[in-house]
């Protein structure tokens, strides 16, 4: 018997990529799942920052899908400077917020192609559906992505295959085009029917905003960073901080990040080195980090902000401890008007 054809599938764990994988497995294709860790995943981050005791555990859907379909899943870490460049200098620009989806797909597909060659797979596939997403899943951007990622016709999109030109796996007869999908557009009806036919249950609801880069608030903060700190200076640590707490730009060179609950406060504490850290004395309150070069007046105002967001036990005179490296000062807060606070809010 000849060796089975092997394919790398980009799995998100959502319904589309799950049935795309199942569709090919039914044709006897051996599948290696692949998922990427970008550092911008909302689910992962929510877990990171919220207090640990949660009622409902969050699942890694790609791993769950792998377990469900009985196929191996490799997780590749692409977070880091190269991926950040995709965010700071996208060749094809941004979508609605700061989401560089086209460049991001190109980056991922290139990496997937490399992985495909590494493990000796013949082609790769995704669960993408033509016309489902405004930016990266229209025909023209799909062509651009395939060209720039140098996929050479080796990327199959099983769910929409019949609406797209035949790819190498179809031309070579590795997969039967006739048995692939002709789905187009945003409705999920067809996918749900296929899931039922295949006996796939318990799939996550369409996630949509699972990537921070499509989040409006996050987008605003990133743009603020680009403007005041320079996009070339963005690091993964900055990204982590941009995702969390309340943010205020007090002055061009002074930014405040304030935790909103215990989990965030704990998380922020880890980022103290090189920053000022303020906390209310004796009463519970937020952890406040200050980036840049605050004057004494700035620090007293930031102390005022810290008191403003502290629990009900704090009053406007509650002293605030201000740490920098090994030093501690106790500050009397100066109150900040709500309108000023709003103007500073990023």
Partner 1 sequence: MIQPAMTLDTFGLLCPVPIMKTASAIREIAVGEVLEVLADDPQILEDMPAWCASNGHALLDTIEEGEEYRLFVKKVK
Residues that bind partner 1 (CB under 8 A): 33, 37, 44, 47-48, 52, 57-60, 63-64, 66-67, 69-77
- Cα–Cα distance between 217 and 324 in angstroms, integer? 29
59's contact among partner 1, ligand SF4, none, with CB below 5 to 8 A by partner kind, is partner 1
Q: Report what 58 binds from ligand SF4, partner 1, none; CB cut-off 5-8 Å by kind.
A: partner 1
Shortest CB 311 distance to ligand SF4, Å: 36
Which listed option, partner 1, ligand SF4, none, makes contact with residue 232 (CB within 5 to 8 Å by class)? Answer: none
The dihedral through the CA atoms of 297, 301, 306, 311 has a sign that is positive
Q: Which C-beta is closer to partner 1: that of 3 or that of 52?
A: 52
Q: Which residues bind ligand SF4 (CB under 6 A)?
A: 38, 99-101, 104-105, 136, 211, 213-214
Hey, is 237 helix, strand or coil? Answer: helix
Residue pair 95/219 in contact (Cβ under 8 Å)? The answer is no
> Quick one: CA dihedral 17, 23, 26, 30, positive or negative?
negative
Cβ proximity to ligand SF4: between 99 and 265 the closer is 99
Cα dihedral 39, 42, 46, 48, rounded to 10, equals -10
Of 101, 105, 146, 109, nearest to 8 by C-alpha is 109
Minimum distance, C-beta of residue 186 to ligand SF4, in the bound complex (Å): 16
- What does 99 interact with, of partner 1, ligand SF4, none (CB < 5 to 8 A by kind)? ligand SF4
119 and 80 in contact (C-beta within 8 Å)?
Answer: no
104 binds, among ligand SF4, partner 1, none (CB under 5 to 8 A by kind): ligand SF4
Residue carrying the six token digits 């295949």: 198
Rounded to a whole number of angstroms, the minimum distance from the CB of residue 222 to ligand SF4 is: 12
């Amino acid at each position: 018997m000849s060796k089975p054809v092997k394919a790398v599938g980009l799995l998100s764990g959502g319904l589309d990529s799950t049935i795309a994988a199942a569709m090919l497995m039914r044709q006897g294709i051996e599948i290696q799942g692949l998922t990427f860790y970008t550092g911008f995943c909302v689910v992962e981050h929510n877990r990171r920052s919220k207090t640990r005791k949660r009622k409902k555990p969050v699942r890694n859907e790609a791993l769950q899908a792998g377990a469900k379909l009985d196929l191996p899943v490799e997780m590749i870490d692409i977070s880091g400077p190269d991926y950040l460049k995709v965010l700071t200098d996208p060749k094809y620009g941004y979508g609605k917020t700061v989401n560089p989806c086209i460049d991001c797909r190109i980056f991922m597909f290139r990496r997937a192609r490399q992985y495909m060659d590494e493990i000796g797979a013949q082609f790769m596939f995704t669960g993408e559906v033509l016309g489902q997403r405004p930016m990266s899943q229209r025909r023209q951007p799909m062509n651009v992505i395939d060209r720039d990622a140098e996929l050479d016709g080796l990327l199959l999109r099983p769910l929409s295959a019949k609406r797209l030109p035949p790819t190498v796996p179809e031309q070579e007869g590795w997969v039967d085009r006739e048995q692939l999908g002709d789905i187009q557009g945003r409705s999920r009806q067809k996918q749900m029917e296929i899931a039922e036919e295949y006996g796939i249950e318990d799939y996550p609801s369409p996630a949509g905003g699972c990537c921070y880069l499509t989040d409006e608030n996050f987008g605003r903060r990133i743009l603020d960073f680009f403007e005041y700190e320079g996009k070339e200076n963005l690091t993964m640590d900055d990204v982590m901080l941009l995702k969390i707490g309340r943010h205020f730009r007090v002055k061009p060179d002074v930014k405040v990040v304030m935790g909103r609950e215990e989990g965030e406060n704990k998380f922020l504490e880890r980022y103290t080195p090189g920053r000022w850290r303020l906390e209310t004395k004796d009463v519970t309150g937020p952890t406040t980090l200050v980036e840049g070069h605050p004057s004494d007046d700035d620090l007293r105002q930031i102390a005022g902000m810290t008191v403003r967001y502290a629990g009900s036990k704090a009053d406007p005179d509650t002293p605030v401890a201000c740490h920098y490296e090994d030093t501690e000062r106790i500050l009397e807060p100066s109150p900040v008007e709500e309108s000023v606070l709003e103007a500073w809010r990023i």
